[in-house]
Structure 1
């Protein structure tokens, strides 16, 4: 995929920050000394961590130069580094590894979680939130439009860009095997948005990227036109003119060495 667009992402900043806040509230640490925000994006989640733990050393990691530029401009007192999270290696050990809406892009969650837990200090926490919406109309329709259009061959692999999440039982077992206690839950957020076009705008910075990034400008316009028409059918307009975007998200907080 091409670089992430921080400006597009931040069009829905309040809605995107809420899961980070909900996740952070469940972290059972009083005074961690070292925290890392994996896939920090424009820094909205990093700011929450730094605000809750003002004495901690907090670092934000992301692979997107555009996202990091926004984060550094907004939070000049914090440390940010360009890192491919999939290949991240470090000799440091952390009290908190926070990963909001990033691990769904990475494969092999059993091994990945084992590796991340190994980077925690004893008693440290791995706090994770991942969108669990591949079965929602928003994402089923992305795949359908991709398969049905003249771009079908070009987009044959697009649906595989997102990792299909495991079950609750999978994550519980993987984290227990890694030596952690596990707090696991799912929340379905319901976002009132201003029509089908707003749903398209929401996903242009995230879920739609594997579908639209490979296309020419003309193809991209055609794809988004078909997708918006399909979205309009799937999300009926409410009496106040809004449409309701359902957005399930899977959460867990795993604490190393705690039973």
Structure 2
């Protein structure tokens, strides 16, 4: 039976942190495109375990940094970094700032939320004049790593998974441009990272990468035996889509979308 990181009720910082460096690099690339900020607090929206907190705090030392996430376990890790003035449990879909913000920074979080056409402008409206909305989201849904998850879940367990009306969680860059361009100066781009995943003792390295994130909603609905059956099929397909290199590692292309919106000065 394959070794599987079963999703707990809360996010598991250790499982998510297994690929910390690969997940942190896009956050730092996003941060590098944020320029000077007006007065106000900075919110790390969906801060997770706070991996980018120290970099945010160092870059904008004159601002108070607040971490928000839905996971209490992740927030405990974030608070322990010492980078945040405070960390709070909050849902990005309904959260409202108490005062206009200098920066809302969100790395690999908003893809979990629907209705970006309403959500992103609502976040932008919480910025101070000259404030910045900086967002990075994985746009990996068409790749085998994520497509297989939907296909195999629907095939093996159609009583629980129906993707007939499924829409991608992250739209095309042109769609976000049309949504946000009227609100300020917009910089939007996509990057594909060629990630080297080290060998693992059991299973396929790509599966070990996805099981703490994209695979979670599927595993949550499966029994132990069902999960083992699903994972065995997934591992087999991944071996064909992402072959093992001579050193035992796997090369895993991963696409991400970035946007930086600078609101207009009053």
Q: Note whether the superposition's TM-score is higher than 0.5.
A: yes
Task: Name the structure 2 match of 1:89.
Answer: 96
Task: Name the structure 2 match of 1:188.
Answer: 192
Residue 145 of structure 1, aligned match among 116, 138, 152: 152
For residues 63-117 of structure 1, the C-alpha deviation after alignment (integer angstroms, 9 at most, x for no partner) is 0111112112233753100001111123321010001111111111111111001
Question: Could you state the TM-score of these two structures normalised by the residue count of structure 1?
Answer: 0.92
The reply on whether 1:239 has 2:246 as its aligned counterpart is: yes
Task: Name the structure 1 match of 2:161.
Answer: 155
Contact 2:124-2:263 at 8 Å conserved across structures: yes
CA-CA distance at 1:180 after TM superposition: 1.1
Task: Name the structure 2 match of 1:4.
Answer: 11
Contact 1:159-1:210 at 8 Å conserved across structures: no
CA-CA distance at 1:55 after TM superposition: 1.9
CA-CA distance at 1:4 after TM superposition: 1.4
CA-CA distance at 1:242 after TM superposition: 1.7
Structure 1 stretches of 5 or more lacking a match? none
CA-CA distance at 1:60 after TM superposition: 0.4
Residue 109 of structure 1, aligned match among 74, 93, 116: 116
Task: Name the structure 2 match of 1:176.
Answer: 181
Moved beyond 4 Å, runs of 4+: 157-160
CA-CA distance at 1:141 after TM superposition: 0.7
The reply on whether 1:164 has 2:169 as its aligned counterpart is: yes
RMSD across aligned positions (CA)? 2.0
SS of 2:52's equivalent? helix
Cα distance between partner residues in 2 of 1:17 and 1:62:
17
Question: Could you state the TM-score of these two structures normalised by the residue count of structure 2?
Answer: 0.89
Aligned length: 255
Identify the structure with the greater helix proportion.
1
CA-CA distance at 1:157 after TM superposition: 5.8
Task: Name the structure 1 match of 2:3.
Answer: none
